[in-house]
Amino acid sequence: MQLYFFDLHWDDECFADDEGILHFDEGSALYYGQRIADRIGRDVDYGSLKVRVRSEAGVMLAALTPSQGRGVEQDALLGRNRSLAATAYFGEPCPRIGPAAGS
pLDDT at 35 over 80: yes
Could you please report the per-residue DSSP string of 2-24?
EEEEEEEEETTEEE--SS-EEES
Where does the pLDDT of residue 90 fall: very low under 50, low under 70, confident under 90, or very high at 90 and above? very low
Domain residue spans of the chain? 2-81
Q: Pick the closest to residue 67 from 85, 83, 47 (CA basis).
A: 47
pLDDT of residue 96: 41
- The residue-averaged pLDDT of 70-87 equals 52
Winning range, highest mean pLDDT, from 10-14, 33-37, 47-51: 33-37
Instruction: State how far the Cα of 3 lies from the Cα of 56, in Å rounded to an integer.
Output: 5
Q: Which pTM was predicted?
A: 0.64
